[in-house]
Amino acid sequence: MAMTMTEKILAAHAGLPQVRPGQIVNAKVDLVLANELSAIVAIEEFGKIRGAEKVFDPHKIVIVPDHFTPNKDIQSAQVAKKVREFALTQQMLYYEVGRMGIEHVLLPEQGLVRPGMLVIGGDSHTCTYGGIGAFATGVGSTDVAVAWALGEVWLKVPSTIRLEFLGKKQPWVSGKDMILYAVGRLGVDGAIYSALEFTGEAIADLSVAERLTMANMAIEAGAKNGIFVVDAKTESYVQGATDRPYTVYQSDPEAEYAQTIVFDMEDIDPQVAFPHLPSNTKPVSQAGDLAIDQVVIGSCTNGRIEDLRIAAGLLKGKKIHPRVRCIVIPGTQKIYLQALKEGLLETFVQADCVVSTPTCGPCLGGHMGVLAEGERCVSTTNRNFVGRMGHVTSEIYLASPAVASASALAGRITEPGKI
């Protein structure tokens, strides 16, 4: 029986010769991820499992405190302390502030995620790792706790939707614009419990960073996971991060797809997702005259060094608009140091930006950039729901680092080509 990449990975981890969409499997996990918010609940649930005193394999469990850290208040400090003590007692892989990063940027960087792995995480954007050919999906904290104890997860095999991108990118178009456009076409419920398999000429041209960005937002269409073919770019990236082994799975030519959707790159301009859904997308040229108050460049979606280089290239020698607060957040400590060495941080500071230590902070309205009543923010993050970044009357516009940087300079949503 012909199978897709996703089906092959699940079959291998379930110990089965083949699986089909809709089938329920118990699959062995290669890695279980949690941040401090999902871990604190998982710790409580783990304590309820009879006989569970030690996790199944501490080398396959990662905890990254990144949402409200560095601790924004006493409550978050208490949560971080409890999670830290549990992780150290269990001898898990634990990345403390100063050695950490935003989880979904950090794990590929550290070589902890590799092609062919089955990864679950207590965060919906765990699907990011499909960018390097892994099956990765977000789960609830109870599932995290059970996986800690048993090393297994209960899953339904998703059907696969094939997204084919034909042609070459237009100027200033990035992977972020491509996934915003695709989510706009699919809708936030267009791929519920499906695998999104990204293919086509334009996909082959993307950097690994752009693929990770696109896989990150598969969940915004309701998908169970997003996944990319493993090619020479993938293998170069992975081998540069680790010498640990991995397995490459490719979809069979005869594999069955629930549907195939073809995108012509000629139709994709730089995009903006308007409030209050990631699917409410328009070309930035149709944004109109919308003044903004804040710009955020970073997050698990666009906090990689390539993203910072694009932003710095537009901001160099210029000043952000006097009405705008521009917050730049490198995705990890390694990226922060690299940006420092390349002079990018100096460019940001000279342009009147704020540069933060790695944190999810503003993305979820936690800290480092919470919005006030009626404020507008252009953000390279992945969600723009009501109240996501602060006050319920605030507005979030999702965009690429290029569009965000151009908008910071203009004081309104702007095409980068106009800067």
What does the DSSP assignment read for 134-194?
A: -EEEE--HHHHHHHHHHSEEEEEPPEEEEEEEES-PPTT--HHHHHHHHHHHH-TTTTTTE
| Structure-token match 């409410």, residue found | 280
Domain co-membership, 50 together with 142: yes
pLDDT of residue 51: 87
pLDDT of residue 216: 98
Task: Decide if 151 contacts 129 (C-beta within 8 A).
Answer: no
Domain co-membership, 91 together with 42: yes
Strand (E) or helix (H) holding 398: strand 395-398
Domain co-membership, 327 together with 196: no
pLDDT of residue 251: 97
Picking from 177, 200, 175, 213, the residue whose alpha carbon sits closest to that of residue 261 is 200
Instruction: Report the domain count for the chain.
Output: 2
Domain co-membership, 116 together with 218: yes
Task: Decide if 145 contacts 243 (C-beta within 8 A).
Answer: no
Domain co-membership, 243 together with 341: no
Domain co-membership, 325 together with 241: no
| Packing angle, helices 208-216 and 305-315, rounded to 10 | 100
pLDDT of residue 175: 97
Domain co-membership, 292 together with 398: yes
User: Could you report the per-residue pLDDT of 262-303, keeping only the tens digit for each?
Assistant: 999 999 999 999 999 999 999 999 998 999 999 999 999 999
pLDDT of residue 302: 97
pLDDT of residue 1: 86
In the predicted model, residues of the chain with pLDDT beneath 70 are: none
Domain co-membership, 259 together with 279: no
* Residues 6 or more apart in contact with residue 19 via CB below 8 angstroms: 3, 7, 10, 11, 25, 157
User: Could you report the per-residue pLDDT of 42-79, keeping only the tens digit for each?
Assistant: 999 999 998 889 999 999 999 999 999 999 999 999 99
Question: What's the CATH number where 381 sits?
Answer: 3.30.499.10
φ and ψ at residue 221, rounded to 5 degrees: -100, 10
Domain co-membership, 48 together with 172: yes
pLDDT of residue 418: 87
Supply the range of the domain harboring residue 122.
5-263
pLDDT of residue 52: 87
